[in-house]
Structure 1
Amino acid sequence: MKRVIFHIDMDAFYASVETINNPNLKDKPFIVGTGPNVGIGSGVVTTASYKAREYGVKSAMRISQAKKLCPDLIIVPPTWKLIKETSDKVMEILQTYSDDFQQVSIDEAFIDVTKKIGPDESPIELAEIIKTEIQENTKITCSIGIAESKEVAKIASDINKPNGITFIPLEKVEEMLNPLLVQKIRGIGPKKADFLNMNGIKTIADLRKLKLSELIPLFNGNKKIAHHFYKVVRGLDEGEVQSHGIRKSIGKKKNFGKIITDLNELIEGIKHTVNLIHDILEKNNFFFKTISVEIVYSDFKRANKAFTIDSFSNSRKKLLDTAIKLIRKIIGNEFSIRGVRISISNLKKGEYSGKIKVQRSLESWYK
C-alpha cells in the first residue's frame, strides 16, 4: 500500500458517553438532544442510542418526530463536561499513534499510519490495538475504516458499525464500494443524493460508470468537484491528513508487558515515556503547563492525577520530575502495576510562531 489511512469514528458517541454517566440507560431507547426546552421534547436529536435507532430515530431529526416514532423515548440533555473530557481523551490516544492527525469532529478523526506499517504487514492488527486502548480508557467503542485514501477510509468506518474494523485495499475498492448508496460519500448530502437519484444515479457503481465529462454537469459544471468525486469512487483521492490549529495534548503510554513492583524499573519506564513526549515537544516547538499521569494496576484498575505548573515550560527535567512526583503520590511505597500513561496539555507554540490559533468550541463541531 502507498498510504495507510485510518478513519476512527466513535460509536453513537453522545449516547455512549451518557450511558457511562447513567448505566440505567443501557439497552433503552433514548436520545441525546439539544436545543431550547429539550427536556420537554423541543429541539433536535444529536444522536440516538442503538435501541432508539431500531424505531427509525436518527440524528438531526426533530425530537417531536422522534417521540412519534418511539413513544417511550427517553430524552437526555448532553453532559458537556464528560463529553468534552471523553473526546479529548480519544484524540490524545490517537495522537500517540501518528503525528499526522486530523480531527474532523468531536467524535471522529483521521490518522496516517503509513510509517508504522511494513510493506507486507496488515494494518488490521494496529487498528485492533487502537480500538482496545480507546475502549479501555473511555469505556466506549469505535469503528475504524482503513484505506489508501481518506474518503474511502471514511466510507469504510461506517460499514461494520458498531465496534468494527473494515479494510478496503485499493484492489477491493470497486467491489466493496459499488453496492453502496451515493450518500455514503462524504460531501453528497440528502439534496444532492435526491438530485443524483432523479438522474438514475443511486449507487456508487452508477456514479463510477460515468465519464468525467458526464459528471461535470451533475455538479453544476464545477470541474474541480466533479474530478474529486471521480477519483473518490476509484479510491484515488490524494487528500492528506492535516492537523488544524494547535494540538490540545500529547500523551504516551508504557505497557511493561509484565507486573512491575520495583521502583527503579518503574522510573526507567517513566523516563522512556517522558523522552518520547519531549521529542514531540521539541519537534513542534511546544510548551506545556499541565502534566497528567495514569497508572494501570495489576488488576486493571486505574488511578490518575494531574498538576498545572505556574508558567509554560518545555523542560524535560520539569516534565520528568513532576510525572515521578505525581506517580509516587498515587502508588505509595508498595505497588503492582502493568502500565503508565503520561500526557501534557494546556499547550502553546514557541514565541516565533506568532499568535496561537483559538481552538474551535465544542458546539461548533456539530453546527
Structure 2
Amino acid sequence: MAGRHIVTRDLAAIGAGEPAIDAARGAEASAGRRDAERVRRLETNVYSGPITVPRRVLIGDTGIEAHPLALGGSVFGWTLGAEASEAVLDRFAALGGTVLDTADSYAAGRSESIIGAWMASRGTRDRMVVTTKVGRHPDRPGLAPENLRAAVDESLARLRTDSIDLLYLHGEDPGVQLEESLGAVGALIDAGKVRALGASDFSPERLIEARVLAANGLPRIQAVTTRYNLMDRRPFEGAPELVAHAQGLAVLPYFALANGFLGGQVRRRAEVRHDARGERLARHLGRRGHRVLATVDEIAFARGIQPATVAIAWLLARPTVAVPVAGVSRPEQLDALLAAASIELHRSELVELDRASS
C-alpha cells in the first residue's frame, strides 16, 4: 500500500497558487498530528503484515464516529419500494451499520422520505449518521444560497429530523460563486441544521478554492464523495487523491462495488439486466473486468468470504478512504459488505488487486 504523499510539489503543478500551497502545507502538518487518532481506523505494517480495519471509524475531523460502510439509498423509492427498502434498512441496522447516504434528487426526494419514515417508526435516528446531498433536485437545482436554504429545509422535513449530520454540495455550480454557497451553509450550521460539510464530485481546483475561502472564516469542506472502486481508479488516483490527502478530507467513495459488478453475480452480457443499473454494470464486462474478478475470486476463495467483501476491504485499505458507500437490492446482500470491516488484507493481496485493476 502506498505511503503518505508529499503533496506540495503536486499541488503547484495543478495550479494551486501560493495561498493554496500554504494551506496545503498546514493541512499536511495537521494530518501528521492526527495520525495517532487515525490508528483507530487503519493500522498498517508496510512490509508484510495485515491491515486491520476496526468496526468504528472517525469521518475525517468532523467528530462523527461511524461503522466503516455506508448504505447507499439511491435505489430507495426507485427500484425498491418502501417495504423492500425498510427491510434493507432493518438488516443494515441489525448488523451494526450506521451511515445512511442519500440525496434530495434520489427518486425526487422519495429516498429521503423512506429513510425518514423508517427512522421515525423504528426510533433509530440517534443511532444513524444521516448524509444527504443538495443541488440536483429538479425543483431546487444549483447551489445558490436561496436554493440551499430551501433544499435543506425540505430535506429535513422528508428525513423527519432537525439536523443533517453531513451535508454534501451535490456537484459544482459554475453559475454561483462558491463563496456565496459556503456562506449559506455557514448560516445553516449556525442554525443547527447541518453538522458538517462535504462535497460531491468537486474538482481538485474547486476544493483548493474552498480551502482558501475556509481560511477566511467560511465553513470548511471536511469530506468528499466520488466514484472510486477497483474498476474506477484513474479519475480519483491523481490530483483528487492528492488534494484530499493534503487537506485531511475523509473520502466516502460511492459505487464501491462498481454498480454491483464486483459482487461477481454477473459475468456475461446475457446475465445483465436491461435497465439503467445493468447498463452501467455492463461497461465493466471485458478483459480487464474479468482479470479483476479472477483476482478477487482467488482471494475470496482462499479466505472463505464473498467477492464483495474483498472489494470493500480493498477500499478500506486505501489511505484516504473512510467509509465506502454501497447499495443493495436485498437485505441478505448486506452481510458480505459489512463483514469487510473485520477483514485483514495482507500486503501481497493488495499488490495482486492493484496489479489486476491497473
TM-score, with structure 2 as normaliser: 0.26
Structure (1/2) with the larger helix percentage: 2
TM-score, with structure 1 as normaliser: 0.26
User: Computing the radius of gyration over CA atoms, which structure comes out larger, 1 or 2?
Assistant: 1
Structure (1/2) with the larger strand percentage: 1
